[in-house]
Amino acid sequence: MQQASRLVSSEGLTTLSRDGRIVARLAESWTTSADGLNWTFRLRPNAFFHDGSPVDSSAVKGSLERSLAGIDRDLSPGLGDISSIETPSSHELIIRMRERSTFLLDALSVAINKVTAGSTVGAGPYMSGKSIDGEIRMEAFSRYYGGTPQIQSVVWKAYPTVRTAWAGMMRGEVDFLYEVGQDAREFIEGEASTTVFPFSRQYAYGVIFNSRRDFFKDRRVRRALNHAVNRSALVQSAFGGHARPTDIPSWPEHWAFDSSVPRMEYDPAKALALLEAANVTSFKVMPGRAPARIHFTCLFPENLPLWERIALVVQRDLSDIGIDMELQSVPIAQFNQRLVAGDFDTVLLEIVVGNSASRPYTFWHGASKQNVWGYSSPTVDSALDTLRRASDEQEYRQAFRQFQLATGDDPPAVFLALSETTRAVSKRFEVVAPAGSDILPTIADWRLADGTRRGAN
Amino acid sequence: LKGITSRFAALLAAAGILPLLLYGAVSIFSLRDATRQSVITGNENVARQVAEQIGLYVQTNVDILQSVAGTLDDTNLERWQQDRILKHAVLDFPEFREITLFDATGTPLASSRVGQSKLVFPQSGTEFSPTTVVSPIDIDDDLLPTAVVGIRLSRVGVSSGSLVGEIRLEEMWRMVDRIRVGELGYALVVAPNGQLIAHGNPNEKPRVARGDNLSDQPLVRLLREQREAAPTSLEYTSTTGVQMLGVAAPLAPLGWTVMVEQPRSEAYAVADQLTRQLIFIIGLALLVTVTVGYFFGRSFIRPIFELMRGTNAVAEGHLNERVTITSRDEFKQLGDSFNTMADKLVELTEDVRKKERQAMFGRMAAGLVHDLSHPIQNIGNSCKLIVRVFDDPEYRLTFTRTIDREIETLKRVLDDLRNVARPAPVERFPLDVNRTVADIVESMRGYAEESGIALEAKFTSQPAIIEGDAFALGRVYRNLLTNGVQATQAGGRVTIATTRVGDKVEVSVTDTGSGIPSERLGAIFDDFVTTKKRGLGLGLAITKRIVEQLDGTISVTSEVGKGTTFTMQFPVAQQPVAVAAAAG
């Protein structure tokens, strides 16, 4: 709920389109020096924070410096390339870099906020209100540079289940469901008063190896496990067809994605051959378990039926090549704790692949703090470094391709599928959004079908 | 005319319209009933087929679970093997969310779940078979219909635990969603407790999620009251006020009910359309029948009307009237016969008139001979005698008087004839009726006495002044008194009386004579009609004409053997003073 409300209350200097291209937001335009070390940004003159103050260079500088000092720096490697920020005029900002970085512009999609009197205000289309009784109430920002939103107010409210949220929608209390589960999607699709908007998320489910474990050190074993899983069948049986198979941590809609790179096809025979090549041949017997060539555990959060079903499918596929993956579902807190501590053989995760190469860099580069699974591959690191320092699109494309090849050759996980999520909106609203994309960022453009301005939940 | 038209219309109604109406009514009701029954049967078949499909679907899942139970029960598998079987089962059969094996105490032994099993053996529900129980349907948090199926396991007659599976019955929803009867007819499924568990109408799905209870729905109620588990149908008003046709088929093993609801207007649209078409056709046939009947009737009745017109015309004396009938049927023959008959009638009439003229001429001649011969003979005799006794002055005087009297008689006969041919005008002066009566009685008393008749006069004491002609009235009195004397035997009496009746003066002449037969009374005032053996018969005709010229009336009453009374009434004069003077 907090994340959703932040999406409409704050904006960055830039944002990324679905194919990874940079789109101007609070920054109206920018230029860079030939060496890529000096960037000059021109801010929008008609952009204001929710307290009425202009989005000027000093405020932006202050916001960016807070991000540089916080967790955003770890999640956005582009921020780490900034050496200094200057404000030559009220609406002009100069960012000086330590090194050339292609990650800067997508890093600048980080929210620009202003801290006043202990509260933080953004410059997005809706102003955050106080959270009362578990609800967050937001009002349309009349000085939003993109124009006053059509919907006057938005109230975010958390519901324990889809059923209760949907019941609220049927009562007219709810106009928008942030996320509809796979199972409930078909039911709501059939409901006449609601429109559903499914879209692929930039997240991939995957069974991620703890590369520190001995039996995962050999890349042939990891590749064998990848070939053992029938991703297409999994998409059908676990996702009901509402997902896209994937075998690498890359966003296939990214402008630099090379679809000609060979995929790791479902091939149990090849998997067995790879195991044989890695000398994983003998079956070991463990009490209460089936005899297996390798026995390891897979950790995932409990009470997530979809995740459990995914795990069961993978477990069965692996058992076909003599791999015993023991499933362990644990409370989410314990899961996070063990994940950070590296206390797992494998984890089932839904991990961001992003529409920017900075996201894979964060999770799969050997030097990244977010690489909690101990994965390290010189070819992958090389590809990611090249992506980060590329000086032109050609170099960037080659590096992206290299990353695709490297993660296929030396897989850090068994990536399974790009998930699909569904939002649902009452037909009282006219939603303006490109087909197949998330409708939430366009909420400022939604309008009531009868042309009035009213609140929405 | 009215009668035959009405009868013909009645004939047309009885022979053409009524049978058509009767046929139409029977056809409409039969068609409507048959078509509606066909719709109901069709919808019942749909409901029955859906029930069978759903039953088969549930049965298949129960069979799968029983198959899994057979694999696990008493097969000495290790726990991990049982566990793997259950996990693979939920992957192979997506309807199963979880399958867990329990021991006799209810402790989970193996499960498809990775974590803690949430299932328990259903404590209530439908006994699907002696060892299988299906729980009531539940709509879960993901808005899916789920049921828990429990299978009791036994080893040589001793309970060895149970296998419990949670089934998502999404496919049942899809089955129901696929059913569409017409544009607005949908299927729905109701649990034994009345809970709505599936609805094919997207707009009604919220009711499923809410778990609406349809126990009070008329069709559900009817089905529950029905002892036999058979399809049934009912028309009722939905909660939204729409007239619905509902059919229901039981899903026997589970106690569920599959219903198909369709707005009555749509369900019976074909029947209504056919009914409208039939009504139109029957209406058209009626119109054609009435139109044809009207024109045919007109052509049929027209000759009759023509014949009636001709008959009436002839009856009114228009003997030259003829009918024109153009049809070539019996009416044409009848018309020709009529015209022939009319021609004959003209001939006969002419013949009768000719004979009447001849008879009248004879009678006139006889009357003239009678009336003239006697005076002429008297004159002749007197002339002969006067020559002989010319010297006797007394005789001469007598003969002279006789000749004068007879000449007067001849003159009177001739006057009567002239009066018939050209009535003399009357003059009007106030006069006293009593006086005129007294004068005539005085003048005719001698004549009466010669015949041995007593002539009496009675006078009203009230004024009896009228506007009249004394000479004409004298002639009237004379005629009547003469007739009375001539009709009365000697010794009889003739009385003339005046009375005042309101604003009329009445004069009556009564004799005690032979009387006039009643059949002759009607023509007694006609010209040349007489009750006497001889005479022209002009007296009463002239009398009546004079009375009417004086604005009076005359009537006669008579009784054969007793006598006759002529009664005249004249209006009283409007100027009594002048009359009195005149009368004085």
In whole angstroms, what is the distance from residue B265 CA to residue A310 CA? 50
**pLDDT of the residue at B583:** 34
Full DSSP string of B122-181:
-SSSEEEETTEEEPPPEE-TTS-EEEEEEEEEEETTEEEEEEEEEEE-HHHHHHHHH-EE
Q: Environment class of residue A141 by beta-carbon count within 10 Å: exposed (0-12), middle (13-18) or buried (19+)? A: buried
Whole-angstrom distance, CA of residue A49 vs CA of residue A114? 7
Nearest to A26 by CA among A120, A109, A121: A109
| % of residues, chain A, pLDDT over 70 | 98
Say how far apart CA B561 and CA B566 lie, in whole Å: 16
Instruction: Please list, residue by residue across A421-430, b when 16 or more beta carbons sit within 10 angstroms of its beta carbon and e when fewer do.
Output: bbbbbbeebe
Query: What's the mean pLDDT when you consider all of chain A?
Result: 91
Q: Which of A275, A368, A356, A373 is nearest to A109 (CA)?
A: A356
Nearest Cα residue in chain B from A308? B114
A285: contact with B, CB 8 A cutoff:
no
Q: Is B170 on the interface with A (CB under 8 A)?
A: yes
- Decide if B211 touches A, using CB distance below 8 A: no
Whether residue B142 and residue A162 make contact (CB cut-off 8 A), yes or no, is yes
Per DSSP bridges, beta strands B493-501 and B465-468 are unpaired
Nearest chain A CA: its distance from B170 CA (Å): 9
State residue B7's pLDDT score: 82
For the CA atoms of A394, A395, A398, A399, the dihedral, rounded to the nearest 10 degrees, stands at -150
Distance between CA B47 and CA B188 in Å, rounded?
9
Residue in chain A nearest B118 by alpha carbon: A303
Q: Which residues of A touch B203 (CB under 8 A)?
A: 191-193
pLDDT in the model for residue B193: 85
Q: With beta carbons under 8 A apart, name residues in chain B contacting A308.
A: 113-115
pLDDT at B524: 83
Among the listed residues A156, A117, A395, A86, the one whose alpha carbon sits nearest the alpha carbon of residue A256: A395
pLDDT at A369 over 60: yes
Mutation for testing the A interface, residue in B142, B175, B204, B210 having most A CBs under 10 Å: B142
User: Is B207 in the A-facing interface, judged by CB distances under 8 Å?
Assistant: no
How sure is the predictor about A387, in pLDDT bands with cuts at 50, 70 and 90?
Answer: very high
Q: Which of A69-83, A337-351, B337-351 has the highest mean pLDDT?
A: A337-351
- CB A327 to CB B141 under 8 A? no
Q: How many CB atoms lie within 10 A of CB B78?
A: 12
pLDDT, position B582: 34
Nearest CB partner across the interface for A190, out of B84, B112, B202 = B202
Interchain CB distance below 8 Å, B205 and A181: no
With an 8 Å Cβ cutoff, are B84 and A190 in contact? Answer: no
Q: What is the pLDDT of residue B433?
A: 92
- Between A164, A192, A316, which is nearest B88 by CB? A316
Chain B: closest CA distance from residue A193 (Å) = 7
For every residue of A26-43, DSSP letters joined together read SEEEEEE-TTS-EEEEEE
CB A380 within 8 A of CB A373: no
Q: Is A315 on the interface with B (CB under 8 A)?
A: yes
- Answer yes or no: do B113 and A308 touch at CB < 8 A: yes
Residue in chain A closest to B78 (alpha carbons) equals: A288
> Among all chains, which residue has been given the structure tokens 């089934």?
B167
Answer whether A162 sits within 8 Å of B143, measured CB to CB.
yes
Mutate to test the interface with B, among A302, A308, A335 (most CBs of B within 10 A): A308
The token duo for A187 is: 């039911």
Tokens of B46: 């749909």
Per-10-residue mean pLDDT of chain B, 584 residues long, equals 74 84 88 88 91 90 91 81 92 92 91 90 86 87 85 77 91 88 92 88 81 88 76 87 91 85 90 87 88 84 88 89 88 91 90 84 74 80 81 83 82 76 79 91 87 92 90 88 90 94 94 89 74 66 88 93 94 64 33
C-alpha A97/C-alpha A104 separation (Å) is 9
Q: Name every residue whose Cβ is closer than 8 Å to that of residue A197 and which is 6 or more positions away in sequence.
A: A422, A423, A424, A425, A431, A433, A439
Rounded Cα–Cα distance for residues A352 and A359 (Å): 7
The contacts of residue B485 (CB under 8 Å, 6+ apart) are: B444, B447, B448, B451, B453, B455, B494, B511
Q: Count A/B contacts: CB-CB distance under 8 Å.
A: 80
Note whether B363 contacts A: Cβ–Cβ < 8 A.
Answer: no
Predicted confidence at residue B577, as pLDDT, reads: 45
Residues A223 and A264 sit within 8 Å (Cβ to Cβ): yes
- Convert the pLDDT of each residue in A163-181 to its tens digit: 788 778 877 788 999 888 8
Query: Among positive and negative, which fits the CA dihedral B476, B482, B486, B492?
Result: positive
3-state DSSP call for residue A385? helix
The verdict on a CB contact (< 8 Å) between B143 and A188 is yes
Confidence at A452, pLDDT banded by 50, 70, 90: low
pLDDT surpasses 80 at A405? yes
The closest CB to that of B91, out of A183, A237, A290, belongs to A237
